[in-house]
Structure 1
Amino acid sequence: MRADGHAPGRPAPGGRDAGELLRRCARDVMDVAEGIRAVSARTGAALSAPPLAASARRRPRTGLAAQWALLRALTNKEGLGGPPTSAPKGIGQVFGAAGEVLGRENLAARIAVTSLRLGIAALLADHPEFARDPGMRRLMETVTADRDPEAVRALRALFRDQGAQRALSGLAPLMGELLAVRTLLDEDPHNGETGWAPAAGREPSVDQPQGIDVPGLAHTDEEQGAAEAVDLTDQEKQFIAIEGSLLGFLRNIEVLSTDGRILVQNVRGPDGVVRYVVQAPGMTPGRPRNHSPQDVVGAWRNLFTTDSPYTRSVLLALADYGIPRGAELALIGHGEGGLALMNLAQDEQFCRTYRVTHVVAVGSPIDAMKPADPRTWVAGITNQHDIVPVPDDRRAGSLFDPHPHWYRVDYTGPTREFPLCHMLREYIEHLRTVVPQAREDVDAALTPYRGPIVRTQAYQLKDRAHPPEGYPFLTLPTTSIPTTAGPVDVPVRYYDSSAAHLCFPVSADAARGLLPGATWLTPSRLGRRALAVLSLYEHRCSTIGPYTEIALSLVVDDLWRPRPYDVAADLLRRVDLRRTGRYVLSLAVTSDEARVVAREIWGQPAMRTTAEADLTGRRIDVRSRDLGLTVEGRLGPGVRCPESDWILYGRRAAGTVRTLVRAHGRLRLHRGTGVRLRLDTAAAEPLAGQLRRLGIHRARPRFVLSCPQFLLHRSAGALLPR
């Protein structure tokens, strides 16, 4: 059964929005790939046909020539470019490995990859915020470029990201396409069907594709789980439903929020029988929570395996609650909660212990699942603008409906913005106003649970204790400081960052002219020149979210007793005892929270801008259209350097702010001849003007300090009395 709702804001049929055009292109390209694949299969079948082999034995001159022609058509880089798909598995792997070594690519697979990339581009056209996220962009680039080690590192970086809820939620609809791309790029031709299924709109294979180690990627979530009965607050008790209904259960989930709790209730049905309802919220927003399985890593594991700390914790909660064996059970969840409860419904042992009568999943990606008990009634409720569930029949060009007998509500809500369209309160409002018939249908199915609530118990789900992220370097005491963007914990911790510091010798007089009028701020000199540093950062994971940072600074002397060459002597001191530092002239960041923190806590002249950075390899590529700035080039061989701790100076009111920065990573020193800085003619002030006044707007740095991956923390700025 299927229910469709329509609401204002849906594109008109035949509309030519960018996403729809890309999806049409993806379908057309996939048709071409399927045709080429069929030709390849027929050619491979002809090559291995017994009559052709017999002909080659009888007439070697013509028969062998025919076999050779077919083989060249299959494997030549100017032909089909791939191994014979009908060959035995061992032979196919040999052909595939040989083709990989020779640089020959399967033509049909490459065209199918193009179709999948168009499908990904269609989703990004509807939700461009994912393409702007540096961690998400890095993951998609490495997967589609067939760079497995870098893809794994990018995925782990997203798991560690303290502000990657939006990006990791975007993995739900993209993961099918990304894994299909990876499978189609595999050398083993017998791995191909798993990748072709989502691209061509067929039912996915049950076999896990070779070369994709899902348990290995989810190894960060191997905790046993735990559950502890907890009391609801008096305020929460006022909003807990006292009568069973779909909206009542969903409002209970909203009351629980996403702090790692679930709710178990007894309901006395109209027939007097006591039944049980398990209600599970979705993923914890923001940073990964080491103390709870209800986080982004748990969502990832629930997507690919039925066993996870979330499901194990729910089982412990049900055992503690004392539900009798054979009791009837309804499972209702939102987002990751619906996914975890559907995993329980797939467990044969669980369904032998309890009679799972209903599963209702709101905004959950459950299309690839199937309950162990065929009598279980399943309802999936999804807003078409919500990218988290993305049913299979909504992928580009797919016509496959995996569960025609489920009750499915796939409606178009009035709000397109993510994550607002995924929030439970939006779904509750839509069930009241946009698709009320769906609410009535689900309530009718839940009639055995439409009665008074006779017992309610909340459970706190937990992971087994393990070291926190960044241990031991980033485990340090913190203090909350109020800002206009809300409270911020300092030191600010950066769990996964890349950086490149471009160092330019500049005129000492030009440098002095850019410093504030205070006489105690003087540029440090190395000979007759001062030193300007253009720092480029790609912060993929931090306690104030992911962002890109571009900072121009000058090395300055001790504020009270400047000495010649003191900057060189300072390198021998501990960072907290150093007198010299870098005064920040301009700072551009890509998030509002980072801008507020820089201005109000560190006293730096930060501005919000757009920028893209790739600093994870030997290649430097940083671009900002707003600033009119481009830094690109390739680093040559480098020399290992000590840890790059430093002091930053800024100004707040009439004082100087001194900020201590500690870093832990593999810093290397390179010559700067391969890197070039460029400014557009209409580049934005003040950064562009300062670069021009220093004479480095089209210069190459003297040397570059690079660190592709490091940890970092910045203290609260100390206000100095001058």
Structure 2
Amino acid sequence: MRADGHAPGRLAPDGRDAGELLRRCARDVVDVAEGIRAVSARTGTALCAPPLTASARRRPRTGLAARWALLRALTHTQGLGGSAITAPKGMGQVLGAAGAVLGRESLAALVAVTSLRLRIAAVLVDHPEFERDPGMRRLLEAVTADRDLEAVRALRALFRDRGAQRALSGLAPLMAELVAIRALLDEDPKHDETGWALAAGREVPAGPPHDPLKDTDQGQGAAEAVDLTDQEKQFIATEGSFLGFLRNIEVLSTDGRILVQNVRGPDGVVRYVVQVPGMAPGRPRSDAPQDFVGAWRNLVMTDSPYTRSILRALADYGIPRGADLALIGHGEGGLALMNLAQDEEFCRTYRVTHVVAVGSPVDDKKPADPRTWVAAITNQHDIVAVLDGRDAGSAFDPHPHWYAVDYTGPIHEFPLCHMLREYIEHLRTVIPEAREDVDAALTPYRGPIVRTQAYQLKDRAHPPEGYPFLTLPTTSIPTTAGPVDVPVRYYDSSAVHLCFPVSADAARRLLPGVTPPTPSRLGRRALAVLSLHEHRCSTIGPYTEIALSVLVDDLWRPRPYDIGADLLRRADLRRTGRYVLSLAVTSDEARVVAREIWGQPAMRTTAEADLMGRKIAVRSGDLGLTVEGRLGPGIRCPEADWPLYGRRAESTVRTLVRAHGRLRLHPGTGVRLRLDTAAAEPLAGQLRRLGLDRARPLFVLACPQFMLHRSAGTVLPR
């Protein structure tokens, strides 16, 4: 059974599906690109043809002119492009390499990249929620603009961000397009065939040579038998059925476990059912192969740590050779199981009778045993299921003998439409006939469950994230937002500290308490610091932070210029520090932690920050605050480890902050602070009282990427 029609997306002005229009345009454009490529090949062959070479020797005037015209057509920036020469040997190779070195892109490649960008635009039209994520937006811009370093940083930031689950789920359907763009735009001609195959929808050459994740998922795989919890055992099916197996997969969640069960069929024969969940959301994991990287490897290769781990689990379970086996999986799990079904050695060891893949891109795969019954069930809104290159609702059916259900579900938003619980509900209510048909096919597996065993799959061991800087003992502290582990660890952050000389009297008036700390003096002035942080991955989630602080002397024995000598001490031995006057953060959890653990006067606000490059920008409409400018030349300076002081009730709280990154000192002439509204107590009001509206900092400390950890606040007897 296959439903007709495409999943509806945003409508164009003429009422047609805008996403489908973009996909049709992409197909037309890639046809044009392949035509240009063919012309480039013929022109390059003609340039290097022996008859033309001989003619140039006999009649230099006309022969050389003809070769010059061909060469200009191939290498000129307004022609076919410097790297368009595809002659296999001799001068063609030399000229093609020279064109690549000079940065001249092939016209055919640029047109193919346009087609790929149209395909990306079609996905974003149908699923605009992807583009709203700043990490995804940054990655797409970097890849399509051919900025390698920024693309790598953006991808690493997405992988590390614990809050980027939606973004990484959205990245998976776009990965083929991103890899194709990268392969077509880079300077290595060995990657061209991969890029063209992905752009034109052809079969990728065996194991794509341009795999950006090839070095990140090379584990040998392992499996360890584990017990289900008492609560999980209550929901595990005791009778074999299609929905029962799917509910078992839902119980396992996506924490790296699979389930193997013995079923005694109606004929009394014991058969075996392997049930495998899909991809775990979020960044790649070192403790299990069930992640985004594993999904990509399963898509483009038949062997992966996921499949190797499943093989080890089946060997440990003790399934006898030649036993009947049914493989049932969701998402990446269905993909990994289909890869096993393609393995001739696996099919010689076991008789794979059934493969059922729900929400999995398996159309470009085929089981080794022609007797294997295959069912593929996909929601047309679930774009993970079209990673194999075939659009939802396509009239082309690569496997007419499969049982394929391609239906339009009521849930449109991704990744919700990919979740297994939605598929289970749709099999009950939207496509009950599909459930009945699969159950009928699984009749030999309809019977009592006589044994159940869960396995925890393992990947290759990796160092803990942030090792060794962030591998330190932690303690759980209760807060109104729930328990928080301290020190709070920040795995990927950017920071810019704007340092302003201000009136010492104005700074003293802003410090609280009956006996306030004494502002540190630099001459007759105190030093105020506006710290801008973009925390992309931390143990309390991603957030943006804007903090105003003042440098203060030793709380008990303040001495002039003590800060100069104190900077020579270790951070934990310093008596001076920065007193936090105001703090604005963009998440509730960060606000609670700052107030209850660090004693800092935090408030929730909205803010956007871009601190990764030389050009910096921070804007907060709630605060009426804008900081923007370009950092000038800088010099390397020591790490920005500081004690921070706050206030809890009548007590002073000291927090130690340790950082690890490449901090640089810049002049402040290119950066300006501006307050756009009259709003905003306390932070904007304090900035005005310090005279910082439209001020330029004396100097700027910037670190575009670093790690840090903040200890629990210590209450001082003062």
**Fold match (TM-score > 0.5):** yes
Question: Following the alignment from structure 1 to structure 2, what is the Cα–Cα distance between the partners of residues 398 and 591?
Answer: 43
Q: Is the 8 A contact 2:278 2:331 kept in 1?
A: yes
Structure 1 residues 624 and 379: alpha-carbon distance in aligned structure 2, compared to 1, 3 A threshold: farther
- Tell me what 1:360 maps to: 356
Q: Percent identity at matched positions?
A: 83
Q: Which runs of 5 or more residues in structure 2 are unaligned? A: none
Question: Following the alignment from structure 1 to structure 2, what is the Cα–Cα distance between the partners of residues 556 and 264?
Answer: 63
Alignment partner of 1:311: what SS? helix
Question: Following the alignment from structure 2 to structure 1, what is the Cα–Cα distance between the partners of residues 91 and 76?
Answer: 17
Out of 594, 600, 608, the residue aligned to residue 598 of structure 1 is: 594
Alignment partner of 1:330: what SS? strand
| 1:564 is the counterpart of 2:560 | yes
- Tell me what 2:205 maps to: 206
Q: Is the 8 A contact 2:591 2:603 kept in 1?
A: yes
Q: Is the 8 A contact 1:183 1:210 kept in 2?
A: no
Q: Is the 8 A contact 1:379 1:442 kept in 2?
A: yes
Q: Which has the higher contact order (CA 8 A, sep 6+)?
A: 1
Q: Is the 8 A contact 1:162 1:288 kept in 2?
A: no
Describe how 1:384-395 pairs up with structure 2 within 5 A. Answer: 384-393=380-389
- Tell me what 2:167 maps to: 167
Question: Following the alignment from structure 2 to structure 1, what is the Cα–Cα distance between the partners of residues 623 and 16?
Answer: 32
Structure 1 residues 152 and 689: alpha-carbon distance in aligned structure 2, compared to 1, 3 A threshold: same
Question: Following the alignment from structure 1 to structure 2, what is the Cα–Cα distance between the partners of residues 143 and 24?
Answer: 23
| 1:433 is the counterpart of 2:432 | no
Question: Following the alignment from structure 1 to structure 2, what is the Cα–Cα distance between the partners of residues 538 and 147?
Answer: 21
Question: Following the alignment from structure 2 to structure 1, what is the Cα–Cα distance between the partners of residues 324 and 85?
Answer: 49
Structure 1 residues 6 and 696: alpha-carbon distance in aligned structure 2, compared to 1, 3 A threshold: same
- Tell me what 1:553 maps to: 549
- Letter of the structure 2 residue corresponding to residue 527 of structure 1: G
Cα deviations by residue, 1:328-360 (Å, 9 ceiling, x for unpaired): 211112233223323322333222211222222
Structure 1 residues 333 and 487: alpha-carbon distance in aligned structure 2, compared to 1, 3 A threshold: farther
Question: Following the alignment from structure 1 to structure 2, what is the Cα–Cα distance between the partners of residues 282 and 37?
Answer: 39
Q: Is the 8 A contact 2:74 2:85 kept in 1?
A: no
Describe how 1:352-501 pairs up with structure 2 within 5 A. Answer: 352-393=348-389, 403=399, 405-463=401-459, 465-501=461-497
Question: Following the alignment from structure 2 to structure 1, what is the Cα–Cα distance between the partners of residues 105 and 495?
Answer: 35
Q: Is the 8 A contact 1:502 1:535 kept in 2?
A: yes
- Letter of the structure 1 residue corresponding to residue 608 of structure 2: A
Q: Is the 8 A contact 1:474 1:713 kept in 2?
A: yes
- Tell me what 2:183 maps to: 183
Out of 215, 226, 229, the residue aligned to residue 222 of structure 2 is: 226
Describe how 1:39-188 pairs up with structure 2 within 5 A. Answer: 39-48=39-48, 52=52, 56=56, 59-84=59-84, 86-88=86-88, 93-188=93-188
Stretch of structure 1 that moved more, 597-606 or 170-179: 597-606
Cα deviations by residue, 1:668-703 (Å, 9 ceiling, x for unpaired): 222223334445458866544444443334333222
Q: Is the 8 A contact 1:485 1:593 kept in 2?
A: yes
Q: Offset at 1:630? A: 4.4
Structure 1 residues 12 and 676: alpha-carbon distance in aligned structure 2, compared to 1, 3 A threshold: closer
Q: Offset at 1:664? A: 1.7
- Letter of the structure 1 residue corresponding to residue 202 of structure 2: E
Q: Is the 8 A contact 1:172 1:387 kept in 2?
A: no
Cα deviations by residue, 1:137-158 (Å, 9 ceiling, x for unpaired): 4443443333445544543444
Question: Following the alignment from structure 1 to structure 2, what is the Cα–Cα distance between the partners of residues 436 and 214?
Answer: 39
Stretch of structure 1 that moved more, 38-47 or 273-282: 38-47
Question: Following the alignment from structure 2 to structure 1, what is the Cα–Cα distance between the partners of residues 395 and 65?
Answer: 43
Alignment partner of 2:214: what SS? helix
Q: Offset at 1:454? A: 2.2
Stretch of structure 1 that moved more, 625-634 or 95-104: 625-634
Describe how 1:496-645 pairs up with structure 2 within 5 A. Answer: 496-516=492-512, 518-604=514-600, 605-615=602-612, 617-624=613-620, 627=623, 629-645=625-641
Count of aligned pairs: 716
TM-score of the aligned structures, taking structure 2 as reference length:
0.89
Question: Following the alignment from structure 1 to structure 2, what is the Cα–Cα distance between the partners of residues 396 and 28?
Answer: 19
Q: Offset at 1:177? A: 0.7
Cα deviations by residue, 1:153-185 (Å, 9 ceiling, x for unpaired): 543444444444333222211110110001110
For the aligned residue pairs, the C-alpha RMSD in angstroms reads 3.4
Structure 1 residues 566 and 370: alpha-carbon distance in aligned structure 2, compared to 1, 3 A threshold: farther
Q: Which runs of 5 or more residues in structure 1 are unaligned? A: none
Q: Offset at 1:248? A: 0.5
Stretch of structure 1 that moved more, 105-114 or 183-192: 183-192
Question: Following the alignment from structure 2 to structure 1, what is the Cα–Cα distance between the partners of residues 632 and 716?
Answer: 40
- Letter of the structure 1 residue corresponding to residue 113 of structure 2: V
- Letter of the structure 1 residue corresponding to residue 488 of structure 2: V
Alignment partner of 1:232: what SS? coil
Structure 1 residues 51 and 624: alpha-carbon distance in aligned structure 2, compared to 1, 3 A threshold: farther
- Tell me what 1:308 maps to: 304
Question: Following the alignment from structure 1 to structure 2, what is the Cα–Cα distance between the partners of residues 175 and 630?
Answer: 35
Alignment partner of 1:65: what SS? helix
Question: Following the alignment from structure 2 to structure 1, what is the Cα–Cα distance between the partners of residues 393 and 189?
Answer: 23
TM-score of the aligned structures, taking structure 1 as reference length:
0.88
Alignment partner of 1:389: what SS? helix
Q: Offset at 1:608? A: 3.5
| 1:262 is the counterpart of 2:258 | yes
Structure 1 residues 339 and 210: alpha-carbon distance in aligned structure 2, compared to 1, 3 A threshold: closer
Structure 1 residues 457 and 681: alpha-carbon distance in aligned structure 2, compared to 1, 3 A threshold: same
Alignment partner of 1:61: what SS? helix
Q: Offset at 1:535? A: 1.9
Alignment partner of 1:229: what SS? strand
Q: Offset at 1:425? A: 1.4
Question: Following the alignment from structure 1 to structure 2, what is the Cα–Cα distance between the partners of residues 694 and 163?
Answer: 36
Stretch of structure 1 that moved more, 453-462 or 651-660: 651-660
Question: Following the alignment from structure 2 to structure 1, what is the Cα–Cα distance between the partners of residues 551 and 248?
Answer: 57
- Tell me what 1:278 maps to: 274
- Tell me what 1:326 maps to: 322
Cα deviations by residue, 1:563-584 (Å, 9 ceiling, x for unpaired): 3323333323332333332233
- Letter of the structure 1 residue corresponding to residue 271 of structure 2: R
Out of 695, 698, 704, the residue aligned to residue 699 of structure 1 is: 695
Question: Following the alignment from structure 2 to structure 1, what is the Cα–Cα distance between the partners of residues 123 and 40?
Answer: 31
Stretch of structure 1 that moved more, 20-29 or 394-403: 394-403
Q: Offset at 1:319? A: 0.9
Question: Following the alignment from structure 1 to structure 2, what is the Cα–Cα distance between the partners of residues 523 and 464?
Answer: 52
Cα deviations by residue, 1:55-97 (Å, 9 ceiling, x for unpaired): 5455443333223212211210122224445411675553333
Q: Is the 8 A contact 1:302 1:339 kept in 2?
A: yes
Question: Following the alignment from structure 1 to structure 2, what is the Cα–Cα distance between the partners of residues 244 and 140?
Answer: 45
Alignment partner of 1:716: what SS? coil
Structure 1 residues 237 and 121: alpha-carbon distance in aligned structure 2, compared to 1, 3 A threshold: same
Question: Following the alignment from structure 2 to structure 1, what is the Cα–Cα distance between the partners of residues 162 and 706?
Answer: 15
- Letter of the structure 2 residue corresponding to residue 205 of structure 1: V
